[in-house]
Amino acid sequence: MSKKNSTKFVTRDILKSSLEGAFQKLDPRYMIKNPVMFVVEAGCLVTLLLTVFPTLFGGKTEYQLYNGIVTGILFITVLFANFAESVAEGRGKAQAASLKKTKQDTKARLLLSDGSEKIVSASELKKGDLVLVRTGEVIPNDGEIMEGIASVDESAITGESAPVTREAGGDFSSVTGGTTVVSDWLKIRIQAEPGQSFLDKMISLVEGASRQKTPNEIALNTLLIVLTLIFLIVVVTLYPFASYLGVDIPVSWAIALMVCLIPTTIGGLLSAIGIAGMDRVTRFNVIAMSGKAVEACGDVDTMILDKTGTITFGNRLAAEFYPVKGASREELIQFSVMSSLLDPTPEGKSTVELGRKQGCILGAEVPAGMTFVEFTAQSKMSGVNMADGTIVRKGASSAVQAMVKEMGGTIPEDLEEIVNWVSNLGGTPLAVAVGKRILGVIYLKDTVKPGLVERFARLREIGIKTVMCTGDNPLTAATIAREAGVDGFIAECKPEDKIAAIKKEQAEGKLVAMTGDGTNDAPALAQADVGLAMNSGTQAAKEAANMVDLDSDPTKILEVVEIGKQLLITRGSLTTFSIANDIAKYFAIIPAMFTMILPQMQVLNIMDLATPASAILSALIFNAIIIPALIPIAMRGVRYKPMKAEKLLLRNMGIYGAGGVIVPFIGIKLIDLVVAPMLAMIGM
């Protein structure tokens, strides 16, 4: 499952299963799902009848062998199309097989209401059951940690060997069935019914069993059906014209003409392209809940990104203490440490550590009667209440100032200056207050991840706007935004602000992507057109999103968007190539069919093909072999470079449009040079 795993195009096992799948898919009940290739299969059956009964439909016996050759080529054409789809599915099934090894019917310690334990099969567990998992035991199903803290080996899911810490409360309380507890213990509330776990969904998705056609696929499929019907009508109407001109068109010629003119190339590759798109995302250690989600990535106009953990490393650590006038540095350090003694966050722990390094005399023990006040998105402060009624708070400068004013205190003259200075450095200022008196500012330092400036510039090139969300004040947010190179930011952002930002962009007709990992991110993830949840996040976040990153790397949404773009470009490029092919095949077959009776049409025979029979056969052979020739491109995707839509269109038309015309001209001519002598040998 790791993205580091080999991405070899076709292994021996995949080749074997794909060949079997190609024959299994010949069932008309399956082929009808692909109307273009169904028409080819129907044509193959007709020519097969004409091979056995050559005089059927008014045919001639001298065409019996020729009909047999056409039947063989048409059969190979259908087989190649099925093979392309089977290869794409086979790559997914190979991944599913490795996941199935992870999924095993383990035993679980079910905790009963009276506190006793009962050993049951994991398959018997229901949503809401409480289980105990000890060191070395496999977590039986997806759940939420209710008690305990432990190291969990998630390599079976993520491919990463390093254990991760999971604990009750916060955004790292979610665990996945099939992972292993390597230290300590966890008490887990089961959140999934049997067969509905994250692992079960992954297996189903990578196998392709739950893949549904995307809106773009449906639209393109409709176009292909319309084109097929048009060319079917064209071929049928040729008969009265040919009869009037005295041209006898064998049925096998008409079928060959129809097969060559309908967009068989993209018809044979369309499903494979969609499956391969899902496969590329999966190989990147991202599970897409639907092909629609991957496709939507390709149409994204705006990306909403959290600052912490996405744009910056997220480890905001205390770097310095800045007292205001009228307060001593020692006093600021002492109360900063006091407010952080019970604060488990990196900010709190680093404040205590820095304070002690700088001479704070407070010990590790918590003073009697002191109670901790947790940080909330609404209050934007945390701190402690002392036994004697003293209130110590640290938090956003605006929130601390509002509290002090409410208590009747005054704001130090130099506070704003210190706050602005820290913000301009790109840091986060935390104001510290004791009661109605502000003592100073704690400077929290964060760092922008390397390489993001270039990646945001890359997104800008393809017309995607990036918006950073942060709880920091506007000055800090502006500094980080400028350093990272994002297009905009939302400062002092609350969960509802993210939803409002997404709705605003959507109201303008834009598609929005965002990342998140917490329960408070779930509404925004659900609102976004593309929601990427972290595997380390809560169950609520993963259920709300339509994509889950197994590596829990928030920046991965940048690559996922490019994969989505590549999927759309691949589909567009191969469709252009397929339709352009028809032009060359038209010039190959039509003149050949009518030159004998209308010598004036020889001018259209620009390829100078030997005979009508060899021309039709050459075009048909080229039509068959071009499908497997394009399978590697369908699987790997067209090489993608960020550029404006107009430039991309010109590039697409130049390479795949012009190429789609030139390649068949050359290919059909070369095939004709081989086929014509062979037909002459058998008297045709």
Active site residues: 306
The pair phi, psi for residue 575, each rounded to 5°, is -65, -45
Tokens 């897409």 map to which residue? 288
635 in Cβ contact with 83 (< 8 Å): no
521 in Cβ contact with 500 (< 8 Å): no
| H or E stretch covering 64 | helix 64-102
CA distance 100 to 82: 26
208 in Cβ contact with 92 (< 8 Å): yes
The pair phi, psi for residue 643, each rounded to 5°, is -165, 165
638 in Cβ contact with 569 (< 8 Å): yes
CA distance 142 to 176: 4
CA distance 463 to 459: 6
User: Which residues lie below 8 Å from residue 465, measured CB to CB, with a gap of 6+?
Assistant: 301, 302, 303, 487, 488
In DSSP notation, 94-150 reads HHHHHHHHH----EEEEEPTTS-EEEEEGGG--TT-EEEEETTPBP-S-EEEEE-EE
Structure tokens at 390: 């003293």
CA distance 643 to 233: 40
CA distance 47 to 381: 79
Structure tokens at 217: 């696929």
495 in Cβ contact with 377 (< 8 Å): yes
530 in Cβ contact with 521 (< 8 Å): no
371-373 sheet: strands from edge to edge:
317-323, 437-445, 428-434, 391-395, 381-385, 371-373
CA distance 579 to 630: 14
- End-to-end alpha carbon distance in the chain: 55
452 in Cβ contact with 555 (< 8 Å): yes
CA distance 82 to 75: 11
Widest Cα–Cα separation across the chain: 111
User: How open is the CA angle 149-130-186, to the nearest 5 degrees?
Assistant: 15
- Cross-strand bridge partners of residue 547: 288, 532
CB-facing half-sphere around the CA of 312: CA atoms within 13 A: 25
In DSSP notation, 231-272 reads HHHHHHHHHHHHHHHT----HHHHHHHHHHHS-HHHHHHHHH
CB atoms within 10 A of CB 515: 32
CA separation, residue 512 to residues 281, 503, 533 (Å): 18, 9, 14
Provide the b/e sequence for 48-62 (b: ≥16 CB within 10 Å). bbbbeebeeeebeee
Structure tokens at 267: 């018809």
